[in-house]
Amino acid sequence: MIDRRRLLLGTLAAGLAARAAAAPPPGPPLPEPDEWLDLWPGEAPGMPDPPPAEEVRERSTDPSFNDRAIFHVHRPRLAIFRPALAIGGAVLLTPGGAYARVVMDKEGFETARWLARRGVTAFVLFYRLAMDHWTSGADTPIADAHRAMRLVRARMPGAKVALLGFSAGGHVAADLVARFEADARPDAAGLLYPVIAMSGPAAHAESRLNLLGPNPSAEDERIHDPSRNVRADSPPCFLVHAEDDPVIPVANTLLMREALRARGVQTETHLFPTGGHGFGIRLASGHSVEIWPDLFFAWGRRQGLWA
């Protein structure tokens, strides 16, 4: 009996181990995009030699959610999430990643699904990275943001289009707020824990290095600091930052806020005591910052972005 019981237990353990080994990697537990749209016809302009070798890495070890990031974006593109019942409006999302990668889920797909469930069409932008030596250099991400805004408007004729950027993606969004071309001006913009400063103690060293390189000139720093380029006709902005952010100093948001207000641009700012960095939607839960999506949605309604 003892031998038989040991044999059965051993067989069961071996079976469980085999099932665990064959288990799929995390997710996707939630819907993927309804459509992918390439940003540029054919090859993206200014392709480096050799071209970047794009790679998607899954960083989550929890099977209940994804945490993917795209490194060395070769094919800039939009992921589109459509609502079952549209109330109007669209949001172009620019996720973060310190200009070393573009976060796919945490600041992209999770937020896009949240918006689509509330009737807003969401576009997640996977922009090229200057560190991959595109010929347009530090202007590469904003070139993709301009192109993306034009494509969203073409797909959503007559709709109001907002930006929503996070961390380094918040810099992409803020850069477009400050340096937009006439046919690519967003109607409004949300900037969450954004990278703004390109010099001084508020600058995020990794983002600055990956965007501008190791020895930027003072002029490079000025051009790529959105707070130094805000215009009187920049769109209204919604700013969010957690004061316990250990990565991007809250001074970045305050710099952008003061620049917007100095030029008479309508601005709503929310600073929260807890939330840390990179909270997006899911990781905001349980912190004071968890109410930011509802605040943003209500602000968007007041801006006439959606019904």
**Average pLDDT value for the chain:** 92
The CATH number of domain 30-302 is 3.40.50.1820? yes
Tokens standing for residue 296: 């943003």
Q: What is the pLDDT of residue 25?
A: 47
- DSSP character at residue 224: T
Instruction: Give percent above pLDDT 70 in the chain.
Output: 90
* Counts for the chain of helices (H) and strands (E), in that order: 8, 11
Q: Report the alpha-carbon distance of residue 29 to residue 45 in Å, rounded.
A: 35
Strand partners, 192: 166, 240
Q: Report the alpha-carbon distance of residue 168 to residue 140 in Å, rounded.
A: 13
Q: Which residues contact 78 (CB under 8 A, 6 or more apart)?
A: 36, 37, 39, 123, 124, 125, 126, 148, 151, 152
**At 37, phi and psi to the nearest 5?**
-135, 120
Mark the ranges of the chain whose per-residue pLDDT is less than 50: 1-25
Q: What is the pLDDT of residue 63?
A: 86
Q: What is the pLDDT of residue 226?
A: 98
Q: Report the alpha-carbon distance of residue 71 to residue 95 in Å, rounded.
A: 13
Q: What is the pLDDT of residue 223?
A: 98
Q: Report the alpha-carbon distance of residue 73 to residue 116 in Å, rounded.
A: 25
